[in-house]
Amino acid sequence: MNRPVSKPLITLVTALIVAVTFSAGFLIGKQERIRSVVPAGEGKVIGVGEIPASLNKDVKFSLFWDVWDLIKDEYVDQPVSEKELFYGAMKGLVWSLGDQHSTFFDPVTAAAFAEELSGSFEGIGAEIEVKDDQLQIVAPLPESPAERAGLMAGDAILAIDGLDTAGMASDEAVKHIRGPKDTDVTLTIRRGEDEARDVVITRDTIEIDSVTYQLRDDGIAVITISFFNGDTSRLFTDAARQALTDGASGIILDLRNDPGGYLTAAIDVASAWVGTDTVVIEKIRDQEEKTIGRGPALLNGLATVVLVNGGSASASEIVAGALQDHDQATIVGEQTFGKGSVQDYRDLPDGSAVKLTVARWYTPANRSIDQQGITPDLLVEMTAEDYQAERDPQMDKAVEILNGNY
């Protein structure tokens, strides 16, 4: 989950400052060796400074520059972009951590990522992630081209327009999948043990309406959160107050296919039930911090069912886990995705950015989410046949519980 607005934890800030300093070290003391080979329009290398005293003496930056010069002098396709070499090195630096959730974004990718969190972008409307070394769909967004094409959470993406995705990072895949409205992209998909098949999807403008509200005829309020973005807290609070105004007899909080988003939004949503009790526990190496809700507990005590599935990830799992541990809701559906790590997102001066795992989170009862997910109180599967027939057994079970028929 991404946390663009992070809490002022000294340990996190220090770690990130070190990372930025280390990155700058790639340019140390070599300006005179490369100034003559910068292609026209590329500018010049800047940011030259001192080698950090903390740098391991076994790290020889001369080797980096030897490889740099070798590429610049002898690579077959010249000229080679200094900028692409540099950003590639930054990506490799973060990639070397072996953490699929930590990523360096060049300025173009960083802008696309920020655009997605803002709630509007052009693409197919699906959250993707690498899990078990396989690029896959975390969740298609509601009413998106991805959903209309029949993509489902857990679908493996084997190729993008014929390009093999083996070893491809999720941010690189996003570059290939996104594109202008009304253009097509072909994904080679495998679902479970089925044979691979090509799915042609026409891109569109994706407007993410992060929260929707519906009052059913039986008095049950359904609040659906599709993504935890910048407007989620406000929209959710409006929906919660509307449910109280409507005299709702119960709440169905639908977090299915919600891939996550801002931690702060997850805390605000959970607070509507848990008030100022613990929402999530963050563990940073040997330190532990409990994050409490911000209240007020508008919906505390109101009968609630939370719907989840394999596309419920990150912030969704925090909310579901908090309500489950505090006995504020019955969790219905399928095992969630299992993304229990915290990423700090930092903008860098040139428009690039780093998303870095800085902690792992646990539910208030100290249950790990990472790689495990949240286990529903009632396991109710939704099959491909249910989708095709427009049946929703999970929603039906939630209504049954709240109407006292379970």
Question: Over the stretch 241-250, which tens digit does the pLDDT of each residue have?
Answer: 999 999 999 9
CB neighbourhood size of 178 (10 A): 19
Q: What is the pTM of this model?
A: 0.68
Residue 161 backbone zone (phi > 0: left; psi -120 to 50: alpha; other: beta): left
pLDDT value at residue 51:
59
At residue 346, φ and ψ (nearest 5 deg) are -120, 125
Sorted by where each begins, the domain ranges of the chain are 2-109, 123-207, 211-402
CA distance 131 to 339: 10
Condensed to tens digits (0 to 9), the pLDDT of residues 348-376 reads 999 999 999 988 989 999 999 998 999 99
pLDDT value at residue 119:
60
pLDDT value at residue 55:
63
Active site residue 325: yes
Active site residue 314: yes
pLDDT value at residue 9:
26
Q: Which of 170, 325, 344, 352 is catalytic?
A: 325
- The answer to whether the CB of 118 falls within 8 A of the CB of 229 is yes
- The answer to whether the CB of 362 falls within 8 A of the CB of 285 is no
Closest CA to 363 of 333, 395, 329: 329
CA distance 110 to 116: 10
Burial class for 15, CB neighbours closer than 10 Å (0-12, 13-18, 19+)? middle
Q: Which of 271, 312, 314, 352 is catalytic?
A: 314
Question: Strand pairing partners for 344?
Answer: 3, 356
Distance of CA 206 to the CA centre of its chain: 16
Closest CA to 198 of 189, 210, 211, 207: 189
CA distance 234 to 237: 5
Tokens 């080797």, residue? 63
pLDDT value at residue 127:
83
Per-residue pLDDT of the chain (406 residues; tens, 9 = 90+): 443 333 322 222 212 222 222 222 222 222 333 323 333 344 455 554 555 666 666 777 788 889 999 999 999 999 999 999 999 999 999 999 988 889 999 998 888 777 666 666 789 988 888 888 899 998 888 889 999 999 998 899 999 999 999 988 887 898 899 889 999 999 999 998 889 999 999 999 887 779 999 999 999 999 999 989 889 999 999 999 999 999 999 999 999 989 888 889 999 999 999 999 999 999 988 889 999 999 899 999 999 999 999 989 999 999 999 999 999 999 999 999 999 888 888 999 999 999 999 889 899 999 999 989 999 999 999 987 887 788 999 999 999 999 988 7
- The answer to whether the CB of 22 falls within 8 A of the CB of 47 is no
Fold of 123-207: Pdz3 Domain (2.30.42)
Counts of helices then strands in the chain (DSSP H, E): 12, 20
Report cis status (omega within 30 of 0) of the bond before 79: yes
* Domain 211-402 indexed as CATH 3.30.565.10: no
Give Cβ neighbours of residue 239 (< 8 Å, ≥ 6 apart): 211, 212, 213, 221, 223
Q: Which of 91, 339, 355, 397 is catalytic?
A: 339
